[in-house]
Amino acid sequence: MSKKPRKKLVKRIKIDVDKCNGCRACEVICSSFHAVPRYSSANPARSRIRVIRDPLADIYVPVYAGEYAAAQCAGRNEYTIDGKRYEECSFCRASCPSRPLFKEADSGLPLKCDMCESDPTLEQPKCVEWCLAQALVYEEREEEVVGEEEAAPDEVELGLEALAAKHGWQTLLDTVTRLTKRG
Amino acid sequence: MRYAETGFNLEVDLTRGNIECVATDPKLVPLHLGGLGTNARHFWDRVPPETEPYAPENHLVFGTGLLCGTPAPGSNRTIVSAISPQTRLFGYAMMGGFFGPELKHAGYDKIVLRGRSPEWVYLHIHDGKVELRDAKHFVGLGTLESAELIRQELRDPKAQVSSIGLAGENRVFFASIEQGRSSASRLGLGGVMGDKRLKAIAVRGTGDIQIAHPPEYMAICKEVLEFIEKRNRNPIPGVMPILAGLGSPQEMAIHDEKWHTENFAWGNARHRRKGFWTEEIQKSWTGTMERMRTRLLSCHNCPMKCGAAISVDTRLCSYMMKCFSKLTYTMAAMSDLDFGLRIAQKATEHGVDAFSAPQTMAFALELYEAGILKPTDFPGMPLDNEGAFYWLLDRIVRREGIGDVLADGTYWAAKRIGNGAEAYAHNNIKKTEQLPLKLGMLNPIYFLMYCTGEKANITQIEGNFPQAPFATREEREAFIRDWPQVPDERFKQWFVEWELRGEKSIPSYPTIDATCEIVNWQEKMHYIDDATGLCAGLSSFPLKPPYHLHNLPALISAGAGLELDEAGLDRVTRRNRNLVRCLNIQRGLRRADERPPDDHWKNRFPELEQKLLDEYYKFKGWNQDGVPTRETLLELGLDYVYEDFVRRGILEGG
Ligand code: SF4
Ligand code: SF4
Ligand code: SF4
């Protein structure tokens, strides 16, 4: 395997909670963009960004949906910043059993921010475009990475699923175990 | 499939505790759109004109605008309607914030409340689950306070809560319904909610709102958003800061209050204080605002952040404020901004209208000074203005002693007090709304708006046409250069020729014909917004807004799946506007009531004024008593109104 440094495009959304005015436009447009057909409905409950708000405590934290977690954390944290107490889980991106965030309202399936990946590629993610307050700012930069080429997880998943469909999960697992031991 | 709307209303009979989800007639949408239009239709169909405001038979309707909750920026208005205790006419108040979209996501376009609950309750809506819950333990608590406790009780921090405070509970004629970021303040609808013994409504929704033609809809939304961004970078030159931008007047962001403090009247709408705005005051008030304002806040899906969270004291919960309520208490009490923001916190918790409440208190103090009210009417009232205001507020919201009289607002209180008190309820639009402003020369545009506005309230009919001419022709020409919002080119000409002085200035210019058109345009925009639920701050209120007569038909059509063109939208709007008028005609409103505040202008022109009214009535298709004519009603498909008017002898049959 090659260990040569390569360029990798890193996409980043910078979140400035001080600039958030609590409007939820990001939630509206994300849900609308991901509706099928596109823009055919709006529903913040399906959004992949949620603004955790507690207006009377002046708390506004836009949080992006991250990985699915099958179980909730063993311990939780509570932050106090500038005298404001942020409830446990305020900054967490997980779609996890402890809270209703980042799950499809009807099916309960987890939601995850995909940075609005689409064809053709958007100039910037939708939530960023609609946040005129600039609480969300999009940035792309190239980073040098050393190490193995990461396959896009979706492709691997797709491939595995296809194999499993053909041979069954057990056969697949057995084979993977055998091959990795050999390797 | 229903688009933009949900197609369902919640009907709650508070007397019996019965709750029903009722499918609405889809044919009402092309006729009235939603919001105020369908609210008015509901009152026409269901609430007879004999109904007393504080009777179980009165309905209280929370109606979302047709486009509420869609991606259109600023589509978040709830139109609350009831027969108003203050005007005894059809009353409606709008609130922004987050309640309307949440209700739509829960699956309902309107909540219709009728009857009167035997005990204090609150309504909890979570999608399909709807229940009335005991609210006895919240009685007496503030609006924000009880909203927070309700969210805790329901374990639902995301629930949007509309609630009343002591003022609503005690049926004050100017009690508001508060909703955190916004409120439905005007015309005492909070009192109607209190009369029904409904402390609050908590709503949470997770359902979809459908769009009929997504690509077309989103293309307009995107244009609107881009327009807002551009317009925010380019305020209109030559007008004062609060008129230069979009949104509600940006009172929370702007520190320069020279214009308000020196042109508006202080106290009981009496004293003009020229030279008030000194550098020292500017510094002190800016300091107050910066200390107390914790954040600028927007309503649902809007970038304009017209509101602000205000923290007067870390021990008290903060509240949210917007617009001119910043100064109403300060000016009525002849005090400073620090006092104004502090008492507004209490007033918001009690749930009173920030316009009428301070006016009523200043009115009481004048009656005291004039000896019409006696010291015995004010037992224990502190002698300083600020102390007196806190004391009065407390009495009013509890309806204790003199507070019980004052709780009916200046007009009704003056009648009850008698002894010459009426002269102190002065400068009122259509009896009940006292204007904190006096001017020299009659302005024909404002004359018509004051007289004919159905709500007896000015800000909700003024808007897109500049309030005054610009000084030079060059400035005016520059202004009209990019003004696509006008209905047609004539409006530009009228503005270009409008001079500050001379032949083409007020009161005789704009001409009567032009004045009718200008007033009609401004009013029409408001009636569109009140039906769609788009915020006036992006549409009918500011100069050069992103939404206007030429893009709204396509937006509404694409959103709701209608086929509306400009003429079609005009028809719907006229239908709604006439229906609202007819509700009030049924309740006795006539030309005799359509008078501007008596001492608003120093220079009056009785002949011209009558002519203006004559011509405007004709323009509107109303007879000389202000009643829509047979032709108007039939043309708009309001046959049922015509028949009712014939039955009641309001119009002649045949
Ligand atoms: S769009 Fe921006 S300002 Fe509005 S809630 Fe989202 S992050 Fe906050
Ligand atoms: S980047 Fe796209 S997918 Fe992710 S939250 Fe924003 S709008 Fe949604
Ligand atoms: S313009 Fe202002 S008042 Fe209107 S919706 Fe936007 S933030 Fe709210």
ipTM entry: 0.96
Name the residue among B208, B229, B311 with its Cβ closest to that of A43: B208
Residue with tokens 């319904």: B177
Contact B523, B29 (CB under 8 A): no
Task: Kindly give the distance from the C-alpha atom of residue B547 to the centroid of ligand 3, in angstroms, as a whole number.
Answer: 13
- Nearest CA distance, B133 vs chain A (angstrom): 24
Nearest chain A residue to B147, by CA = A56
Task: Kindly give the distance from the C-alpha atom of residue A136 to the centroid of ligand 2, in angstroms, as a whole number.
Answer: 11
Indicate if the pLDDT at residue A183 is higher than 50. no
Task: Tell me the whole-structure pTM to 2 decimals.
Answer: 0.94
- Nearest CA distance, B633 vs chain A (angstrom): 37
What are the chain A neighbours of B98 within 8 Å (beta carbons)? 24
Instruction: Provide the domain count of chain A.
Output: 1
Inter-chain touch A24–B217, beta carbons under 8 Å: no
Name the residue among B71, B229, B305 with its Cβ closest to that of A42: B71
Q: Which two tokens stand for residue B155?
A: 């374990």
Task: Kindly give the distance from the C-alpha atom of residue A63 to the centroid of ligand 1, in angstroms, as a whole number.
Answer: 10
Interface of A with B in 32-91 (CB under 8 A): 32, 35, 37-46, 54-56, 58, 60
**Which ligand is in closest contact with the Cα of A25?**
1
Residue A122 φ then ψ, to 5°: -80, 155
3-state secondary structure of B64: strand
> Which residues span the domain enclosing A84?
8-143
Environment class of residue A119 by beta-carbon count within 10 Å: exposed (0-12), middle (13-18) or buried (19+)?
exposed
Inter-chain touch A133–B303, beta carbons under 8 Å: yes
Per-residue exposure over A15-40, b if at least 16 CB sit within 10 Å of its own CB, e if not = beeebbbbbbbbbbbbbbbbbeeebb
Task: Find all residues with CB under 8 Å of B307, minimum gap 6, and list them.
Answer: B181, B182, B248, B252, B296, B297, B298, B299, B320, B321, B322
**Helix B512-532 vs helix B552-560: angle between axes, to the nearest 10 degrees?**
20
What are the chain A neighbours of B209 within 8 Å (beta carbons)? 41-43
Q: Does any domain span residue A155? A: no
Q: Which pLDDT belongs to residue B209?
A: 98
Distance CA B113, CA A23 (A): 29
Name the residue among A38, A46, A130 with its Cβ closest to that of B225: A130
- Nearest CA distance, B94 vs chain A (angstrom): 18
Distance CA B104, CA B5 (A): 7
Domains parsed from chain B with CATH numbers: 8-204 (3.60.9.10), 250-322+325-420 (1.10.569.10), 439-465+511-647 (1.10.599.10)
Label each residue of B145-211 as H, E or C. HHHHHHHHHHCCCCCEEEECCHHHHCCCCCECEECCCCEECHHHHHHHHHHCCEEEEEEECCCCEEC
Contact B167, B191 (CB under 8 A): yes
Q: Does any domain span residue A1? A: no
Q: Tell me the CA distances in angstroms from B383 to B368, B375, B424, B461, B550, one per residue in order.
A: 11, 11, 20, 39, 56
Q: Which two tokens stand for residue B444?
A: 């024909």
The secondary structure of B350-378 as a DSSP string is HTB-TTHHHHHHHHHHHHHHTTSS-GGGS
Interface of B with A in 175-194 (CB under 8 A): 180-181
Q: What is the mean pLDDT of residues A82-90?
A: 86
Q: For residue A165, what pLDDT band results from cuts at 50, 70 and 90?
A: low
Distance CA B600, CA B447 (A): 10
Q: Which pLDDT belongs to residue A73?
A: 87
Task: Find all residues with CB under 8 Å of B228, minimum gap 6, and list them.
Answer: A132, B73, B246, B303, B304, B538, B546
Q: Which pLDDT belongs to residue B599?
A: 82
Distance CA B576, CA B530 (A): 10
- Nearest CA distance, B609 vs chain A (angstrom): 44
Q: Which pLDDT belongs to residue A77?
A: 86
Contact B450, B600 (CB under 8 A): yes
Does A118 reach chain B within 8 Å, measured CB to CB? no
Distance CA B79, CA B96 (A): 9
Distance CA B525, CA B570 (A): 10
Q: Does any domain span residue A48? A: yes
Name the residue among B180, B303, B311 with its Cβ closest to that of A132: B303
Which parts of chain B register pLDDT below 50?
none
Q: Which pLDDT belongs to residue B442?
A: 95
Beta-carbon contacts below 8 Å between A and B: 94
What are the chain B neighbours of A28 within 8 Å (beta carbons)? 71, 300-301
Task: Kindly give the distance from the C-alpha atom of residue B299 to the centroid of ligand 3, in angstroms, as a whole number.
Answer: 5
DSSP B267: T
Pick the residue of A16, A30, A39 with the most B CBs within 10 A to test the interface with B by mutation: A39
Q: Which pLDDT belongs to residue B25?
A: 98
**Helix B566-586 vs helix B35-46: angle between axes, to the nearest 10 degrees?**
40
Q: Does any domain span residue A44? A: yes
Q: Which pLDDT belongs to residue B194?
A: 98
Distance CA B339, CA B360 (A): 17
Q: Does any domain span residue A2? A: no
Length of chain A: 183
- Nearest CA distance, B318 vs chain A (angstrom): 6
The secondary structure of B74-113 as a DSSP string is TB--EEEEEE-TTTSSEEEEEE-TTHHHHHHHHT-SEEEE
Q: Which pLDDT belongs to residue A156?
A: 59
Q: Which pLDDT belongs to residue B316?
A: 62
Residue B75 φ then ψ, to 5°: -90, 85
Does B546 reach chain A within 8 Å, measured CB to CB? no
Nearest to B412 by CA among B436, B397, B395, B428: B428
Indicate if the pLDDT at residue A178 is higher than 90. no
Does B148 reach chain A within 8 Å, measured CB to CB? yes
Within 6 A (CB) of ligand 2 lie A 30, 33, 48-49, 64, 113-116, 125-127
Task: Kindly give the distance from the C-alpha atom of residue A62 to the centroid of ligand 1, in angstroms, as a whole number.
Answer: 7
Task: Find all residues with CB under 8 Å of B560, minimum gap 6, and list them.
Answer: B3, B4, B5, B29, B33, B66, B67, B212
